Amino acid sequence: MSSVRTEPIGAGDRAGSPARTAARAAVLAFFVDAFDIYLPVLVLAPAMGYFRPADLGAGTTALLGSLVFPATLVTRPLGAAIFGNLADTVGRKPATLTAVAGFGVVTLLIAVLPGAETIGVWSLVTLIVLRAINGVFLGGEYTAAVPLALEWSPRERRGVLSGAILAGSPAAYATLAALTLALLQSMPSKGAASAYVQWGWRIPFLMGALITVPLFVHYRRAVVESPTARTGPKARSPLVELVSGAHRRQLLQVFVLMSGVWLVNTMVSAVLPGLLTTHVGLTATGTSVAMLVASLALVVAFPLCGALSQRVGRRAFYIGFGLLVAIGGSAAYLGALTVRAGLPTTIALTALVGLTLGSFGPVAAYLTELFPAPIRATGFGVGYSLALALPAFYVFYLAALADVVPPHVAPVVVVAVGGVLICLGGYLGPETRHVEMTRTE
């Protein structure tokens, strides 16, 4: 093993301390990550005509359009593997700095992308490719930043810190929903020549690129590398150790758990907004308000769920919460789509559905606690990202389910399945809340 710092983990938890600076950086990293994930869902949806040539066939248009959202999801496991390996061998800090810089550059390139009027179908193809490249950098961004923050955290605060870090995600969704709503209300958005379609959508992308600057500067100047062991030069690669070593069973257990978490997340964050408009009949403004309220509720719920897991244990939390999602979450989802009692009721039910995402609260703590220091970033990053593969292609399996049940019931079924997987994943795993982050095996 290489030499490491001797300052105890969690020491000096004061303003400006390594624990505080690393925690702030991790929150911002997750904010940036979620900001990017939901750009296609919220920002590009009204502007997709900008990228589609008029002479492109309907089938080809639908196929390419359906790839914009999953493009950035399916490449995240690759980014997690690359940057996790870098973080476990070279260090968490350089891995994060590289990933943040890459994300900022690629997002800026998307913001200045010419449309179909200029380069034809290559506009849409280039958008998909750039989104895929961004997925690699984003998969690396949180892979290194989150373990570093939790390695500095006092053991008794890891659950709350985990929830606070993950709260950056709904905070980003709420910010993006409010920004998109403001843009749609302030400029014309109908027709290929409208202001929003031609240039309005670029504003959130430019903001996404710009917010990487303070993250990069903060990380470079203030964040201190965590005092944990690294993989020695003669040891096996952390990725090889994770996939083929003694920790393979843990990775499979995490895959089950995170598959459930991501399935539920996709049905709530990506599918529900469209159903509120097409099935329930809300206006674009009403849908934006409902999702905004749900996101703000999660900003509070994530730290509370993290704190609950600290009290009852991670394993007990996921077993119980998975059952709650499978039964209560699916019922709330169906209620949000079928109860016709006015906008306030729909907003309340939507917020209740959103709370099914509370499983994200303890997940950063749980995944980092599962793996020892020399492979921790790789274990966390790959475990967190690998399960994105199935939810990324939700369009296709929802279409298959719609042949069996009514289309609006299909996501309800998926939410129930996701809850079962969360419960099963928790049951198969160990309790971790008391582990020492300095352990090397």
229 confidence band (pLDDT: 50, 70, 90): low
182 confidence band (pLDDT: 50, 70, 90): confident
Residue 1 in domain: no
Output the pTM of the full model.
0.84
Q: Number of structural domains, the chain? A: 1
Q: What percent of the chain has pLDDT over 90?
A: 39
Q: What percent of the chain has pLDDT over 70?
A: 92
Asked whether residue 63 carries a pLDDT value surpassing 80, the answer given is no
Segment 108-164, tens digit of pLDDT: 999 999 988 888 888 888 999 999 999 899 888 888 889 889 988 888 999 999 999
Residue 434 in domain: no
Residue 240 in domain: yes
Summary mean pLDDT of the chain: 86
Question: Residue 7's pLDDT is what?
Answer: 36
Q: CB–CB of 129/65 below 8 Å?
A: no
Segment 34-56, tens digit of pLDDT: 888 778 777 887 888 888 887 77
Cβ neighbours of residue 30 closer than 8 Å, sequence gap 6 or more: 142, 146, 165, 166, 167, 168, 169, 172
Cβ neighbours of residue 35 closer than 8 Å, sequence gap 6 or more: 172, 175, 176, 204, 207, 208, 211
Residue 134 in domain: yes
Which residue would you say has higher pLDDT here, 319 or 84? Answer: 319
Residue 172 in domain: yes
What single string gives the DSSP state of each residue in 298-361?
HHHHHHHHHHHHHHH-HHHHHHHHHHHIIIIIHHHHHHHHH--S-HHHHHHHHHHHHGGGGGGT
Residue 4 in domain: no
- Both tokens assigned to 81: 């593997």
Q: Look up the CATH number of the domain holding residue 86.
A: 1.20.1250.20
Asked whether residue 13 carries a pLDDT value surpassing 60, the answer given is no
Asked whether residue 355 carries a pLDDT value surpassing 90, the answer given is yes
Residue 308 in domain: yes
Question: Residue 394's pLDDT is what?
Answer: 83
Q: CB–CB of 81/239 below 8 Å?
A: yes
> Which secondary structure element, helix H or strand E, spans residue 137, and what is its range?
helix 122-152
CA angle centred on 73, ends 376 and 260, rounded to 5°: 70
Domain housing 254: 18-428
Cβ neighbours of residue 221 closer than 8 Å, sequence gap 6 or more: none
Question: Residue 36's pLDDT is what?
Answer: 80
The SS3 assignment for 148 reads helix
Segment 241-289, tens digit of pLDDT: 888 777 889 999 999 999 999 999 999 988 998 899 889 988 877 888 8
Residue 279 in domain: yes
Residue 23, CA distances (Å) to 5, 29, 287 in order: 19, 10, 32
Cα–Cα nearest to 96, from 35, 21, 205: 21
Question: Residue 144's pLDDT is what?
Answer: 85
417 confidence band (pLDDT: 50, 70, 90): very high
Question: Residue 288's pLDDT is what?
Answer: 80
Q: Which residue has the tokens 């843009």?
A: 183
